[in-house]
A and B are shown apart, each in its own frame.
Chain A
């Protein structure tokens, strides 16, 4: 079985290599295009190198702590997870900065929307395949080396062990939790750092270039335009890839951990069954990767129509459909004949499959809802555009209303999926629903990465002054990318919620420790003041986190605005196109701003559960996790959808409605878009990570602070 999993992961990575070189061998266009692309690539690489150098110190510190306090195997798994996640982010950024110019050139050479779409999607698929491949390969290797070879998944080892500090844990659950933490740490820095970078550059470029100087988007005269394009790669590619990789790993790990705890707590379960419960998530993931590969191939070989959105959806649906079919076979053939009623599987061998399908369907519905609330093809966004006629105040008000209303739908869908999955297969079913939603992550990340590649291609086409028809093609692909981005965000939040809830279930098991066999200690008592206060603090935490992020973007954007103004003032030739702006200074401002500002939010995310755990104990942290998860989900949905709706509300006006470009409605819509930018691209995505990283950190540390915390010390 492990062989099949490894083969699927390696096949994905091999396919990624094929697509990587398939894109790379394409012509990169005119010297001017290559020069622009090189500047973007150089900026993106420089930022990731700086960012990774900061992360390296954090990774080394945490690895040492884990090695000393928990176990050397967890330290190794942690580093392994970090390396896998960082690799996916790096490769994604790399292929995105190679693809952008080639997409632009394909449009220039062929004037064909379909052929250009194919190059952009092939580039995006490298990131998708890397995310799926690296995540699964890493986890499969951890399972193989630590689980099988070091016998951590042997029945005799699936019980609590006590280390030299007196801390008890199940070694296998700790090892894979540490692997997930490694992924989370990278995701946190990539998402937060990338999010601050990209919005500081974007806002800086727009506020002076477009609004004050009257120059259009992606104009080479704008000193911040290269930084803006760099931001797409470090934020929307590396950040998003690491984020979804982390969710994917988190979902898989939570199911595997739950399987181990179920075996420990229930007793009377065959060892062979628990082994299946542990590796089935990996098998479903492997099937999802192979299905996604078929979806990707489908789009790459078929004759592409002139409707890019439909084509991208088709690739996703092929991947999702095949995942549903293949995971059904896996579920049936693995679990048939097993005594599943003992572990609460109400639909027999198909129980895990039903849960996975619930996850897949929920993901699709949540994506569709996100599209409904953020696409200008539908009323909510059109109403924001209409409100813009009356000025920016109503644009903001209407957008807030759309964002707030948009929260209830996905939450109800998640609620139904959670209850149905729980009835079908207990907490393990909830984890399987998360896995289902993320099982075809390879194709969804491919589609998501296509967006920033197309966006960059549009930028290069503009900057290189390519023929208007070429710019029309890249603009159209870019517009589709905005919609796929909004759907992707809905998907990311939904999957993060399910993954976080699964991890929270594992936390309850870990908190109960050896008492989990009695069941009663699994209950989190909300009447307990510690739990209640923990929930209150947890509810407030995402607001603190988001506030700091918005301030960080504003700080960096302010510096960018000042620099762009300074350059325009110092050299009027920049605007006239007779002299080149200093792009590098703007890139440095974004880089420095992001690197300086990302530390505090990241530290808050990692240290809050630790600090409060050591002060107030596990009950408080349990409440904290519930509060943070609930609050973050609402805030993430609100910010992502409001921001997306403001963005597309502006685009609707720009498409010639309510006066179009240059109208007062447009000016108001631009204000809405600018307000929404840090919400949808920095805050929302970072909240996904916040809930997962806090759950993972708590899961790892609960056995420590359950034993050592100030509150217990004082009370006893």
Chain B
């Protein structure tokens, strides 16, 4: 059986594989020989849709080796991938640690964040990668990025997550949030103030290249995949849920 996976961080790619999702995550993080250690995020998609990708090629190439070993990966596309994948094709999202451990997130109906504070911090993952602040809640933000014709620049689809916001007056008791709020805090506050104070400023880029400082600990409500007018929401598990579901993943991801 073949699976189809769309990796959206750190690269964008559509890959066919005979590996089940968690095994695929482990393989992509660690490789088979090179001894790499790479964090990545991907989603499983139901394959064989549309004609943007060569499904026949996938079926022909993604076959078990003569030795009996399953085929790990066949790349079908390595850029402009998510714009061609209808949202209905998406299955679960997987968050993979450097050590290959993989956590599954399931889709849930979209709701406006319960902790909405009038602005949101967002880390975009695909097709662009900045860390931004916006006065829009996630669904409105994706609509703004994809569909706002008044803007010069739009993207056809986007994957992003909202980011936890700490108490900026309490820099010591932060909890485990990684390197998110350590430096340039004043710059971040300025960006927030900008979108709060200037009604015409919908988004403000905090950092153009934030991938090295991103960690799963800072995902707030979850991950969002948007295309056209639609959006899918993958709620992030709470620390208590991670403890129950996959404590070792949580340890590898520095939650515990």
Measured CB to CB, the residues of A under 8 A from B are: 212-216, 219, 221, 386, 389, 465, 468, 471, 568-569, 572, 575-576, 654, 656-666
Distance in angstroms from B137 CB to nearest chain A CB is 26
On whether the beta carbons of A215 and B254 are closer than 8 Å, the reply is no
Select from chain B the residue with minimum beta-carbon distance to A471. B247
Judged by DSSP, the binding face of A is loop
Distance in angstroms from B6 CB to nearest chain A CB is 22
- A664 surroundings in chain B (CB, below 8 A): 179, 182-183
On whether the beta carbons of B32 and A660 are closer than 8 Å, the reply is no
Known: A465-B248, A656-B176, A657-B174. 15 other contacts (CB 8 A): A214-B39, A219-B248, A386-B172, A468-B256, A568-B35, A569-B35, A656-B173, A657-B173, A658-B172, A662-B253, A663-B176, A663-B179, A663-B180, A663-B182, A664-B179
On whether the beta carbons of B217 and A660 are closer than 8 Å, the reply is yes
- Give 25 A-B contacts (CB < 8 Å), ordered by A residue: A213-B99, A214-B97, A215-B252, A219-B251, A386-B172, A389-B182, A468-B243, A468-B256, A471-B247, A575-B99, A576-B27, A576-B30, A576-B100, A657-B174, A658-B172, A658-B174, A659-B180, A659-B181, A660-B178, A661-B176, A661-B254, A662-B176, A662-B217, A663-B176, A666-B254
On whether the beta carbons of B37 and A656 are closer than 8 Å, the reply is no
Which single member of B26, B171, B179, B182 contacts A576 (CB below 8 Å)? B26
Q: Beyond A216-B251, A658-B171, A663-B182, is A572–B176 a contact (Cβ under 8 Å)? A: no
Write out, one digit per residue, whether chain B residues 28-39 have a CB within 8 A of any chain A CB (1) or not (0).
Answer: 001111010101
Distance in angstroms from A659 CB to nearest chain B CB is 5
On whether the beta carbons of B182 and A572 are closer than 8 Å, the reply is no
Does B50 reach chain A (CB closer than 8 Å)? no
Q: How far is the CA of A654 from the CA of B26 in the complex (A)?
A: 26
Which single member of A471, A569, A656, A666 contacts B175 (CB below 8 Å)? A656
On whether the beta carbons of B174 and A656 are closer than 8 Å, the reply is yes
Distance in angstroms from A479 CB to nearest chain B CB is 13
Q: How far is the CA of A389 from the CA of B177 in the complex (A)?
A: 13
On whether the beta carbons of A575 and B30 are closer than 8 Å, the reply is yes
Distance in angstroms from B39 CB to nearest chain A CB is 8
- A213 surroundings in chain B (CB, below 8 A): 37, 98-99
Measured CB to CB, the residues of B under 8 A from A are: 26-27, 30-33, 35, 37, 39, 97-100, 171-183, 215, 217, 243-244, 247-248, 251-256
Distance in angstroms from A650 CB to nearest chain B CB is 13
On whether the beta carbons of A572 and B171 are closer than 8 Å, the reply is no
Which single member of B33, B39, B243 contacts A572 (CB below 8 Å)? B33
On whether the beta carbons of B251 and A660 are closer than 8 Å, the reply is no
Which single member of A214, A654, A657, A662 contacts B178 (CB below 8 Å)? A662
Q: How far is the CA of A661 from the CA of B97 in the complex (A)?
A: 14
Which single member of A214, A576, A659, A663 contacts B252 (CB below 8 Å)? A214
Which single member of A215, A219, A568, A658 contacts B182 (CB below 8 Å)? A658
Distance in angstroms from B125 CB to nearest chain A CB is 18
On whether the beta carbons of B178 and A572 are closer than 8 Å, the reply is no
Select from chain B the residue with minimum beta-carbon distance to A216. B251
Q: How far is the CA of A609 from the CA of B85 in the complex (A)?
A: 80
Select from chain B the residue with minimum beta-carbon distance to A665. B182
Q: How far is the CA of A125 from the CA of B245 in the complex (A)?
A: 38
Q: Beyond A468-B243, A659-B174, A661-B254, is A572–B99 a contact (Cβ under 8 Å)? A: no
Q: How far is the CA of A214 from the CA of B99 in the complex (A)?
A: 6
Select from chain B the residue with minimum beta-carbon distance to A217. B251
Q: How far is the CA of A657 from the CA of B251 in the complex (A)?
A: 17
Which single member of B27, B37, B181, B247 contacts A212 (CB below 8 Å)? B37
On whether the beta carbons of A660 and B175 are closer than 8 Å, the reply is yes
Distance in angstroms from A593 CB to nearest chain B CB is 24
Distance in angstroms from B36 CB to nearest chain A CB is 9
9 A-B pairs closest in CB distance: A660-B176, A214-B98, A661-B254, A662-B254, A662-B178, A216-B251, A656-B175, A468-B247, A569-B35
On whether the beta carbons of B172 and A216 are closer than 8 Å, the reply is no
Select from chain A the residue with minimum beta-carbon distance to B253. A662
- A666 surroundings in chain B (CB, below 8 A): 254
Q: How far is the CA of A569 from the CA of B30 in the complex (A)?
A: 10
- B215 surroundings in chain A (CB, below 8 A): 662
Distance in angstroms from A469 CB to nearest chain B CB is 9
Select from chain A the residue with minimum beta-carbon distance to B218. A662
Which single member of A569, A572, A663 contacts B177 (CB below 8 Å)? A663
Distance in angstroms from B215 CB to nearest chain A CB is 5
- B177 surroundings in chain A (CB, below 8 A): 659-660, 663
On whether the beta carbons of B179 and A662 are closer than 8 Å, the reply is yes
Q: How far is the CA of A661 from the CA of B99 in the complex (A)?
A: 16
Distance in angstroms from A26 CB to nearest chain B CB is 25
Q: How far is the CA of A449 from the CA of B93 in the complex (A)?
A: 46
Distance in angstroms from A51 CB to nearest chain B CB is 34
Distance in angstroms from A217 CB to nearest chain B CB is 8
Q: How far is the CA of A471 from the CA of B251 in the complex (A)?
A: 12
